[in-house]
Amino acid sequence: MKQISFFVPGTPQPKKYNRGKSGSWYKSSECKQWEYWIKLHANQHAPEIPLECPIILGFAFTFKKEEKKKDLSNLIKSAEDAMTGIIYKDDCQIVTITAHKKYGEKSGVAITVTPV
């Protein structure tokens, strides 16, 4: 199996939940939109059936300098969850994650999925 690589343009959003008036929790609209955007791009690079083997994930999150700082672990979780069922069957298959944040001209995330 070969490595899958793709870039998702846009401002990366962390996994974030807000508390509603009733006291229940809901996913932020920014997170929902970002996860939808990742799914859209992931579908363009997905295997015929989601991978079921162990995988290594790589993330390179890029932000413009003026953008608010984001928590790396929550950025990873948002992207992980968006690819579940599309690129791989379940996030329990992930054996290694490498990730970093940087500043640049074009916001987004470069994603690599390597079957092992």
Q: What is the CATH number of the domain that holds 18?
A: 3.30.1330.70
> What's the structural domain count of the chain?
1
Report, as an integer, the average pLDDT of 43-55.
Answer: 97
Beta strands in 12-80 (DSSP E): 17-19, 25-27, 55-63
52-95 confidence digits (pLDDT tens): 999 999 999 999 877 777 899 999 999 999 999 999 999 999 99
Give residue 4's pLDDT band: very low, low, confident or very high (50, 70, 90): very high
Question: What is the dihedral sign for C-alpha 102, 105, 109, 112?
Answer: negative
Q: Give percent above pLDDT 90 in the chain.
A: 78
Boundaries of domain holding 97 = 4-115
Question: In this structure, which amino acid lies at residue 81?
Answer: D
Judged against a pLDDT cut of 80, whether residue 37 lies above it is answered with: yes
Report, as an integer, the average pLDDT of 88-109.
Answer: 95
